[in-house]
Amino acid sequence: MEIRPVGADELPQFVRADHAGFGFVSTDDNVTDAQQFLELDRTLAVFDGDEIVGTAAAFSFEVTLPGLATLPAAGVTWVSVLPTHRRRGVLRSLMVRQLDDVAARGEPLAILTASEGGIYERFGYGPATFNYDIELDRSRVEFRDVLPDDGRVRMVDAEAARKLLPPVFDQVWRARPGDHRRNDGFWDYWFQDKQQWREGMSARFYAVHESAAGEVDGFVAYRRKTGWDTHGNPDGAAKVDDLFATTWTAYAALWRHVLGLDLVRTVTACDRPADDPLRWMVTDPRSVRVVACNDDLWVRVLDVPRALSARSYETPGRLVLRVEDALRPQTAGCYVLDGGVCSPTNDAPDLVLDVAVLGSVYLGGARVADVAAAGRIEERTPGAVATADAMFRSHPLPASQTGF
Ligand SMILES: CC(C)(COP(=O)(O)OP(=O)(O)OC[C@H]1O[C@@H](n2cnc3c(N)ncnc32)[C@H](O)[C@@H]1OP(=O)(O)O)[C@@H](O)C(=O)NCCC(=O)NCCS
């Protein structure tokens, strides 16, 4: 079966095939959206005759690393196979071809979020960031008398938000390993705030935080649903879509705003970084209930020396890693990491690990010691796991704060 990028005229068919695999019936609106944000030359379609039976695409991202340098990364997305063609190797052919294309573009990393946890390890991806969904009962939340706000929180409409939010996020993603830039296409799409994204709640409300100097240094976007229980008590809900700030003072002020909303009983927020300091800002840490903890970003390393040389390390150290890669033997080999610089070597390895495991520990979101405890990293030199564990940690923890 032929695999190739689609042309503009084939996009409706591409969208239809992708959506059918996911169990959605596509609409003209979906095609318009795809025209707006898909990079056509980075689409891949598998054709059975004239019919598109498998899809994949990639975004050209730049991802933040521990130490806050950035690297180009392919944001893999729109992976789908028609139910009529499943389990015949269509996905495998897409993955092999896509990784060749990514390598040819000189991108050392590919990243994705997975619909199911069992699919992508065989293609060299490892779960690399983990995030929390949280739920707060407003009546139980009390803020400590810390981080007093010398600025103010101001509600703004969508038009003003379109101008004010992107510059804040532009600072936020650069300060968080695992994160990537939101381009104009993303923001235009996000601000459409479509009815089907609301799940029975309101359109988004936007509030920004201004520092004492009058600079916007944080924002929150949330939805509400107002209601009363059978006893006539307020039973409303608020759902935080995004809450970002460049200072912890602004961050706390924005949470105070959401947790101060009258008539709201429950506040929820999804995909929060695992090191979110919110629990330390309130008097009762259990009032911030973690209701789910899931893998988020999966990382695939294609160029080991470039990837390992670009990030920084928490402690100095020298390690020789043997990386195994059944899918792409050109990535496999022995590499020495010394003084933060990585290069191929003929030295004997201290640690032996699969490329998917390297992807998991690369951003510091999975601990080397934990993965080694599961038997997934072979320690050839005593103490090498502890050395790598100390080196590969990251603060802040990595998180991907923009779905794709
Ligand atoms: C997931 C999906 C793309 C797989 O496509 P496919 O063409 O059936 O996959 P392939 O036949 O190429 O299978 C390749 C390998 O992955 C495995 N695999 C495929 N789907 C899997 C799944 N859902 N869970 C675990 N393993 C899976 C196959 O067993 C095969 O393993 P092997 O080659 O090591 O023996 C397809 O089922 C689909 O479209 N699902 C719904 C949409 C979706 O979830 N897309 C992924 C978005 S992140």
Q: Let me know if 120 is a catalytic residue.
A: yes
Instruction: Write down the pLDDT at residue 353.
Output: 98
Domains 2-107 and 132-295 share a fold: yes
H or E stretch covering 78:
strand 70-81
Q: 23 in ligand 1 pocket by Cβ < 6 Å? A: no
Q: Give the ligand 1 atom nearest the CA of 118.
A: 25
Check if CATH label 3.40.710.10 holds for domain 2-107.
Answer: no
Q: Let me know if 404 is a catalytic residue.
A: yes
Domain spanning 132-295: which CATH class is it, in words? alpha beta
**Burial call 223-255: b when 16+ CB within 10 Å, e when fewer:** bbbeeeeeeeeebbbbbbbbbbbbeebbbbbbb
Which pTM value belongs to this model? 0.97
| Dihedral over Cα of 396, 130, 207, 238: its sign | negative
Q: Which of 22, 55, 92 to mutate to test the pocket of ligand 1 (most atoms within 8 A of CB)?
A: 92
Q: 87 in ligand 1 pocket by Cβ < 6 Å? A: yes
Q: 111 in ligand 1 pocket by Cβ < 6 Å? A: no
Residue whose token pair is 């936007």: 206
CB–CB of 209/232 below 8 Å?
no
Question: Of all protein residues, whose CA lies closest to atom 45 belonging to ligand 1?
Answer: 80
What residue ranges do the domains of the chain occupy? 2-107, 132-295, 303-392
Check if CATH label 3.40.50.2300 holds for domain 303-392.
Answer: no
Residue pLDDT, tens place only, 60-106: 999 999 999 999 999 999 999 999 999 999 999 999 999 999 999 99
Catalytic residue among 14, 59, 120, 219: 120
Q: Which residues of the chain have pLDDT under 50?
A: none
Instruction: Write down the pLDDT at residue 221.
Output: 98
CB–CB of 155/215 below 8 Å?
no
Report the C-alpha gap between 91 and 98 in whole angstroms. Answer: 10
Instruction: Write down the pLDDT at residue 237.
Output: 98
Instruction: Write down the pLDDT at residue 283.
Output: 97
